[in-house]
Amino acid sequence: MSDYDPADDSKKCYDVAISALRQEGIANGTITPWKRKEVIGDCTLYLGDCLEIMPVLDLVDHVISDPPYEASLHASKNSLSGRVRTDKGPDLKGLNFAPIDDTRGTVVRLVAETCQGWAMFFCTVEGVARWADVINPSRLKYKRACIWIKPDSTPQLNGQGPAQGAECIVTAWAGSGHARWNAGGKRGVYTHCVNGPKRHGAHPTEKPVSLMAELLRDFTNPGQTILDPFMGSGTTGVACVKMGRKFTGIELDPDYFEIACERIREAYRQPDMFVKPAPKAVQEGFL
């Protein structure tokens, strides 16, 4: 007996036709590729699919992004979700978005077309080579993977081997000439707790604001525009507000988008955490 299902086949044909019409509409400007756009101070946030939105954005200075991880990590995180932790750490939540495997090449192509400086992608240690494999044939110049050490990462709850204690940040240069950063000969090693006191807690893979701020300080300059096409709950944007950078963020999930908007509004309301106010002018005595 054949597996052919005419209803399923016609639904797939319908989806392909709608998607083609949508791409044509976006390309000729009759459809906006986002569902919502919020401008908050120097931050512009889009609700929608970054694969559709990035092609219509202006150029940005840098891309610093925490995309979905590989399917293997999504599977292991989802299998842990809901388990009771014995180390009093926060509850483990599953990942309700698709892994990066099928779209990584497209993401790198779009970032290469949009970015004029550093392009940086968080990933697992195992994911570094996969990012390098798609970056190397592109316009981006692969530099190296930095390491984020997580002293308080989730322990290996089944005790069957070492827990994951670090993540990587793949860095590539999209600018002209030599790559430039602000940290001289510093090693690309960043140590920040996952569950610091400033953790917001609504997103299962939230990055520490302090980590994003250190990356901004090392790789970018005040006034530049940073794009995070996978902004989740908006941590990169919060750090940009605190560090005096402009921010463009894209998020597919409406709930995370709402949280990102609220966190960025809140970041503008709070006094600066990282930017030191300029010292008050003091009248020196005349000689």
| Helices 209-219 and 235-243, packing angle to 10 deg | 60
Distances, alpha carbon 79 to alpha carbons 1, 82, 157, 181, 256, in Å = 35, 8, 12, 39, 22
**Number of residues in contact with ligand SAM under rule CB under 6 A:** 21
Give the interface segment with ligand SAM, choosing from 133-141, 147-155, 172-180, 203-211 (CB under 6 A).
203-211
Joined tokens for residue 36: 């919502």
Joined tokens for residue 276: 């030191």
Count other C-beta atoms under 10 Å from residue 11's C-beta: 11
* Single residue of 33, 44, 45, 66 touching ligand SAM by CB under 6 A: 66
* Single residue of 43, 44, 57, 68 touching ligand SAM by CB under 6 A: 68
CA 184 from chain center: how many Å?
25
5 or 268: whose CB is closer to ligand SAM?
268
Site for ligand SAM in 34-53 (CB under 6 A): 49-51
Residue 207 interacts with ligand SAM (CB under 6 A): yes or no: yes
Give the interface segment with ligand SAM, choosing from 63-71, 133-141, 169-177, 215-223 (CB under 6 A).
63-71
At its nearest, how many Å lie between ligand SAM and the CB of residue 94? Answer: 12
Note the helical H segments in the chain: 6-27, 50-53, 71-80, 104-114, 128-135, 209-219, 235-243, 254-269
Q: Which amino acid is at 105?
A: G
The 221-250 contact track toward ligand SAM, x by CB under 6 A, reads: --------xx-xx-x--------------x
61 or 66: whose CB is closer to ligand SAM?
66
Q: Using a CB cutoff of 8 Å and minimum separation of 24, what contacts does 192-198 make? A: 192/148, 192/149, 192/150, 193/150, 193/151, 193/152, 194/150, 194/152, 194/153, 195/89, 195/90, 195/152
Which of 225, 45, 49, 229 lies closest to 121 in space, CA to CA? 229
Residue 274 interacts with ligand SAM (CB under 6 A): yes or no: no
Residue 194 interacts with ligand SAM (CB under 6 A): yes or no: no
42 or 253: whose CB is closer to ligand SAM?
253
* Single residue of 42, 113, 253, 258 touching ligand SAM by CB under 6 A: 253
- The site for ligand SAM (CB under 6 A) is made up of 49-51, 66-68, 97, 203, 205-207, 229-230, 232-233, 235, 250-253, 256
